[in-house]
């Protein structure tokens, strides 16, 4: 029998992440882990560095052709990441 103040585990974890101000960091790590699903394996395999800091996604891509493609798709990638995170996690992409 559930008590009235019982919460589903997912909701309790979300609340804990927010209380301890680590939700953003958790979401950023999730984006890095989901990078192959977001951009495809061929792009992910050529991504040498990937991290998020201050709402900026920093990327180091070894292929100039793929880098140019990503520059052209910048807005779509940002939208996809933010949609996945259900918040404004990335506002800008910086190529290293």
- Cβ atoms of 30 and 50 within 8 Å: the answer is no
Task: Provide the residue ranges of all domains of the chain, joining segments of one domain with +.
Answer: 9-95
- Cβ atoms of 53 and 14 within 8 Å: the answer is no
- Cβ atoms of 90 and 81 within 8 Å: the answer is yes
- Tokens 């301890």: give the residue: 20
Return the top range by mean pLDDT from 2-11, 23-32, 37-46. 37-46
Question: Over the stretch 15-27, which tens digit does the pLDDT of each residue have?
Answer: 876 776 677 777 7
Alpha carbon distance 43, 40 (integer Å): 6
Number of H helices, E strands in the chain: 5, 3
37 alpha-carbon distance from chain centroid: 11
Overall pTM > 0.85:
no
Segment among 34-38, 41-45, 83-87 with least mean pLDDT: 83-87
């Amino acid at each position: 029998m559930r008590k009235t103040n019982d919460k589903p585990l997912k909701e309790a974890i979300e609340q804990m992440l927010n209380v301890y101000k680590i939700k953003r960091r958790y979401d950023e790590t999730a984006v890095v882990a989901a990078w192959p699903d977001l951009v495809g394996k061929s792009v992910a395999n050529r991504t040498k560095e990937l991290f998020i800091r201050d709402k900026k996604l920093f990327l180091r891509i070894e292929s100039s052709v793929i880098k140019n493609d990503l520059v052209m798709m910048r807005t779509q990638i940002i939208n996809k990441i933010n949609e996945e995170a259900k918040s404004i996690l990335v506002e800008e992409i910086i190529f290293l």
